[in-house]
Structure 1
Amino acid sequence: MRINRRAVAAAAVIAVVLPLSACGGSEAGSADASGKVEGEITFQTWNLQANFKDYFNGLIADFEKQHPGTDVKWVDRPAEGYADKISADAAGGTLPDVVNVSPDLVAPLAKAGLALDLDKAAPQYKKEYLPGAWDAHRVPGAAGVYAFPWYLNTGPLFYNKRLLKDAGLDPEKPPTTYGEVFDAGLKMARQSKGKVAALANVPTIEDFGRYGVPLMNEEGTAFSFNDPKGVELLTRYKELYDAKALDPQALTATPESSGHKFLTESVAMNPGSALDLANFKKQAPSLYENIGITDQITSTGKANMYVMGVMVNAQSKRKPAAVAFAHFVTDATRQMEFAKKVAIFPSTAGSLDDPYFTEEDGTDETRVRVAAAKSLKTAVNYTPVLFSEQMKTELRNAVARALQGKQSPAEALDNAVKACDRLLRQS
């Protein structure tokens, strides 16, 4: 599963269907997970059974062997409608004991008292995980962490060396900050007379974060990406758009369409992961010959981290077993095993120092893996856990209005923040 697509329905759906009062508010469910590890629990994952059936069946068998008297029932749900399924289970009191979640999905469950606070129930495990990963499921306005961090992902920036060289840029010294990307993009557009764009995507909330924009107040009660630095970022993107250094179809682009633009060499730079290299080699040999690989663009010095988690139902009747199993799934041994089966990264402390993530063998695939693993040690999940799909749409629409000249960048972001704050109050 490509974690960086994040193409799952919004946590806001859960928030709408599941009123906080329906589950007794944030105090519902005891945080006490002490006691004997025994009994039957249900473990729900998200679009994993098709490719990893043997891995999870083996993992469950190992856990049951280590803990006689336990019985783990594995349920896998398709990505389509996953949030709706969680919402229905939460509202109906049938939420599984252990649930695969992303930070945005766990937030409304935590507010409703359905996600176990691990800072209280299992603080002894905190030291086993990367600090940024452990904090990824921390919800502003609510004390605690509400899921064990599981696998992580991040990716480099791919660039077309030939297109940079044609524009008079040094292909061995690609841009590393947003400012350098903007300057390079304008030069490429001038040299190609608007035929080659630097980027094919409009800025997302992650871009604002990586640019150094404060996204939200510490209390989690209001957004702040309309501050002067946010306006500055959107103003620079407007310059790119006007100069055709931002692909004209960027306003309606999807990850797939942006990738196609890069494949056909009409866009010079595109974010991706190690999984993309084989695709380049197969579908665009001429591009592959000229592919450049550099670090993710950031003006903060910290890359963006995508993270998946494993949540324990705060109302589980088998809480000791549920916590023990959630920890077992996400411990260092199991995460390393899983990371070697698919292009993801473990969230456990020390795992990224394994030779698998530090030693190159001369292949591009290993080069990407090593570079990504290094960046993950200090990476941040920039997307606020309270930033729902509806909010993403509000921001995207505001960006479009600014790029098209219908509103100034400042006015567009002010309106987006107002809309997002309104949605936040409704959740």
Structure 2
Amino acid sequence: MRMSRRTFAAAAAVVLLPLSACGSGGGDASAGASGRIEGDITFQTWNLRANFKPYFEGLVADFEKKYPGTHVKWIDQPAEGYADKISADAAGGTLPDVVNVSPDLVAPLAGAGLALDLDKAASRYRGEYLEGAWDAHRIPGMSGTYAFPWYLNTGPLFYNKSLFTEAGLDPEQPPRTYGELFTDALRMADRSGGKVATLANVPTIEDFGRYGVPLMDDKGTAFTFDDGKGVELLAKYKELYDARALDPQALTATPESSGRKFLTGAVAMNPGSALDLGNFKKQAPDLYRNIGITDQITSTGHVNMYVMGVMVNARTARKPAAVAFAHYVTDAAHQMAFARQVAIFPSTAGSLDDPYFTKEDGTDETRVRVAAAKSLKTAVNYTPVLFSEQMKTALRNEVAKALQGKESPQEALDNAVRECNTLLRQQG
């Protein structure tokens, strides 16, 4: 499994079915996490066996050697239907003791009393992780953290220096905030006669977050991205769309189509990975020679991270062993070892200062890795854990109506929030 930014985001976007059949856990499900580490536990991962079988088999063997009397059964589920599998296991009382999850998968499990609150059961480990990563598995309206943060990913932006130069912009000073982006994009569209757009994608929920829009109320009962700041962002994108500073095909763009636009010089900025750099080198050598790498656009000072986690079943009969193993999988040494096998980043504090993430060796892989690692130290997960795929579709549809002039930005976001809140109530 090659974990580029885009494949990571796609993998982490699966929606878990409602767990109404589970009920809520009684008593303090976080109790009993201390004690003798022993017994049999089951560890479930998400589409990792095919490429990383030796790593995980070694991990399990080392844990069992460290804690005699333990036995870990490792099972791996395919990517397709993973959320359905977790939902069925939760409803049937067969949820594994330790489970590989993303934040959106944790939310209904925590609400059903099935995810262990680590702020209560394993608070002694909190300082080992980046603050933004630990907080990624908090659930609005609930106190606590419901999974150990595991591997992270993010993506820097690529930009075409020659297109910036042609527009009279400094190729060594790409835009970093949305204000700078809007100014530069309008200038590039004007100088090119509308032939060069700066962006190829419409704003997503992460863009609203990076712009500083409050996405949800503190209780987790309603979405709020239709406030004045959210409307301001969408109005700016409408201005870009009208000026052809946003690609005309952005309404139906896919990562692949956006990548082709960037490859041909029709778009000046696009997210990507080291794999893309390799393709540029072969297919567009002029672009490759003029490629720039910069951080995601953000007006908050924090880029977006994608995060995977390891959850402990709150009802496991072997809580000390399950907590110990979940921590073992995600501790600094093992995260660092895993990061050397696949293009992901550790969530543990201090790990991103390792020379592996700070020193370039002239290869495309390290160029991207160093740029991404630098931004991850203070990154946050902007996507609300309760924001489902249906909600993303609702937002995208309303954004399209606003850009096409069928609705005002305020009307579009009001409609999106209304539909998302309806879906949110249905989840409950």
Alignment TM-score > 0.5, same fold: yes
1:311 partner SS:
strand
Paired residue secondary structure (1:72): strand
- Structure-1 residue corresponding to 2:17: 14
What are the superposed Cα offsets for residues 40-76 of structure 1, whole Å, 9 maximum, x if unpaired?
2111111211211111111111111111122211111
Cα distance in 2 for residues equivalent to 1:362 and 1:217? 46
Output the amino acid matched with 2:329: V
In the TM superposition, 1:415-426 aligns within 5 A as: 415-426=415-426
Asked whether the 8 Å contact 2:16–2:104 carries over to 1, the reply is no
Paired position in structure 2 for 1:263:
263
1:127-276 aligned at under 5 Å gives the runs 127-276=127-276
Q: Return closer, same or farther for 1:27/1:179 CA change in 2, 3 Å cut-off.
A: farther
Find the aligned partners of 1:362 and 1:22 in 2 and give their Cα distance: 53
Determine the C-alpha separation between the residues in 1 that align with 2:73 and 2:5.
Answer: 24
CA distance in 2, matches of 1:56, 1:330: 12
Q: What one-letter code is carried by the residue in structure 2 that aligns with 1:290?
A: N
The alpha carbon displacement at 1:366 in A equals: 2.4
Amino acid aligned to 1:348: T
Deviation at 1:176, TM superposition (A): 1.2
Residues 29, 116 of structure 2: 8 Å contact kept: yes
CA contact (8 A) 1:4 1:153 kept: no
The amino acid of 1:14's aligned partner reads L
Q: Match for residue 353 of structure 2?
A: 353
**Pairing of 1:103-142 with structure 2 (within 5 A):** 103-142=103-142
Q: Does the 8 A contact of 2:38 with 2:318 survive in 1?
A: yes
Letter of the structure 1 residue corresponding to residue 390 of structure 2 = Q
- Measured after TM superposition, the shift of residue 272 of structure 1 is 2.2
CA distance in 2, matches of 1:8, 1:409: 30
Question: Amino acid of the residue matched to residue 209 of structure 2?
Answer: G
Residues in 2 aligned to 1:283 and 1:39: alpha-carbon distance in whole angstroms: 55
Q: 1:2 aligns with which of 1, 4, 7?
A: 4
| Superposed CA offset, 1:183-221 (max 9, x none) | 222222222222221111100010001111111111111
Which 10-residue stretch deviates more, 163-172 or 124-133?
A: 163-172
- Gapped runs of 5+ residues in structure 1? none
Aligned counterparts of 1:104 and 1:188: Cα–Cα separation in 2: 38
Task: Determine the C-alpha separation between the residues in 2 that align with 1:8 and 1:316.
Answer: 26
Corresponding residue number in structure 1 for 2:337: 337
Matches within 5 A, 1:29-68: 29-68=29-68
Deviates more, 1:233-242 or 1:275-284: 275-284
**1:7 Cα deviation after fit:** 2.1
Deviations 1:363-401 (A, max 9, x none): 443233223222211111111111111111111111011
Instruction: Assess, with a 3 A threshold, how the Cα gap between structure 1 residues 206 and 127 changes in structure 2: closer, same or farther.
Output: same
How many residue pairs match? The answer is 424
Q: Which amino acid aligns with 2:60?
A: I
Partner Cα separation in structure 2 for residue 25 and residue 418 of structure 1: 31
- Verify the 8 A CA contact 2:115 2:311 in the aligned structure 1: yes
Deviates more, 1:302-311 or 1:360-369: 360-369
Separation of aligned partners in 1, 2:26 and 2:296: 37
Shift of 1:9: 8.0
Distance 1:223 1:112 in 2: 21
Aligned CA RMSD, in angstroms, stands at 1.8
Mapped to 1, the partners of 2:329 and 2:185 lie a distance apart of 44
Inter-partner Cα distance in structure 2 for 1:366 and 1:10: 27
Tell me if the contact between 1:275 and 1:343 (Cα under 8 Å) persists in the aligned partners.
Answer: no
Compared CA separation, residues 298 and 288, structure 1 to 2 (3 A): same
CA shift, 1:83, in A, is 1.1
2:110–2:116 CA contact under 8 A, matched in 1: yes
Letter in 1 for 2:328: F
Supply the AA of the counterpart residue of 1:2.
Answer: S
User: Partners of 2:104 and 2:276 in 1: how far apart?
Assistant: 26
SS of the equivalent of 1:309 reads strand
Judge which range, 368-377 or 310-319, deviates more: 368-377
Counterpart-to-counterpart distance in 2, 1:139 and 1:26 = 19
Distance 2:293 2:397 in 1: 31
TM alignment of 1:389-400, pairs within 5 A: 389-400=389-400
SS of structure 2 residue aligned to 1:137: coil
Q: How far apart are the structure 1 equivalents of 2:168 and 2:118? A: 53
User: Could you say what secondary structure the match of 1:238 adopts?
Assistant: helix
Q: What's the CA shift for 1:109?
A: 0.7
Question: Is the CA contact (8 Å cut-off) linking 2:198 and 2:246 kept in structure 1?
Answer: yes
For residues 163-187 of structure 1, the C-alpha deviation after alignment (integer angstroms, 9 at most, x for no partner) is: 2222222212211111221222222
Separation (CA, whole Å) in 2 of partners of 1:286 and 1:267: 15
Contact 1:10 1:83 in 2 (8 A): no
Residue 309 of structure 1 corresponds to 309
What's the secondary structure of 1:44's corresponding residue?
strand
Runs of 4+ in 1 over 6 A off after TM superposition: none
Does the C-alpha gap of structure 1 residues 90 and 30 become closer, same or farther in structure 2, counting only changes over 3 Å? same
On the 8 A contact 2:12/2:102 being kept in 1, the answer is no
Q: Secondary structure at the match of 1:199?
A: coil
Deviation at 1:324, TM superposition (A): 0.8
Say if 1:44 and 1:76, in contact at 8 Å, map to a contact too.
yes
> Does structure 2 retain, via aligned residues, the 8 Å contact 1:274–1:343?
no
Aligned AA (1:239):
E
Change (3 A) 1:361 1:113: same
How far apart, CA to CA, are the structure 2 residues paired with 1:82 and 1:31? 28
